Amino acid sequence: MILRLFQRGPRSATISGLYGAIVAQARLPAFYRSYGVPDTLDGRFEMVLLHTVLVVRRLRGEGPDGQQLGQAIFDRFCSDMDGTLREMGVGDLTVPKQMKKVGGAFYERQEAYDAALAAADDAALAAQVERGFSGITPVAAVALAAYIRRVAQRLENQRASAFSGGHVAFPDAGIGPVVATA
């Protein structure tokens, strides 16, 4: 009976596929080279957080099954962040406090991106990007806001069956340079 706690469920491959695609997209060099996202722990965290929020946002509209899938992706995100904190040497007594901050950041960004995506133009979205990504330039924030809008639209056009099959397709992140290089 206790072995069931350690077995991978039938949705495990689905969650792994979806979360793997989220992380792979968030790690694309274009975000750090062209969009001006700081190539730091915070910048990379924000990129994974952003893509997780966008996928979970899309799944919320798919009824109970989509909401459960979104919850499972959020759970995987939290598990990943917990493991990352431990790998970085954060002590066992501090991890729960840090995870509370991670969860709070997720819900804060989810609410902010929902509100910004509901706006007709990208000004609110660019302002949210500037708040979330410290050190990003206003020009880069506008470009990243446009990318976020493209992601939201692309996800909205994907069939629910793709998500339940463990597949998510993000738009191309490649753009021309938006940040000045020294």
| Each residue's pLDDT tens digit, 2-34 | 444 444 555 789 999 999 999 999 999 999 998
Examine residue 156 and state whether it is found in any structural domain, yes or no. yes
Q: Dmax over Cα atoms in the chain, in whole Å?
A: 61
Total of domains in the chain: 1
Examine residue 83 and state whether it is found in any structural domain, yes or no. yes
Examine residue 25 and state whether it is found in any structural domain, yes or no. yes
- Compute CA 27 distance to the chain's CA centroid, rounded to the nearest angstrom: 11
Examine residue 169 and state whether it is found in any structural domain, yes or no. no
Examine residue 180 and state whether it is found in any structural domain, yes or no. no
| Each residue's pLDDT tens digit, 66-85 | 999 999 999 999 899 887 77
**Quick one: tokens of 15?**
């969650």
Cβ–Cβ under 8 Å, residues 148 and 117: yes
Cβ–Cβ under 8 Å, residues 161 and 154: no
Structural domain containing residue 58 = 12-164
pTM metric for this prediction: 0.88
Examine residue 171 and state whether it is found in any structural domain, yes or no. no
**Quick one: tokens of 111?**
């609410």
Burial of residue 90 (number of CB atoms within 10 Å: 0-12, 13-18, 19+): middle
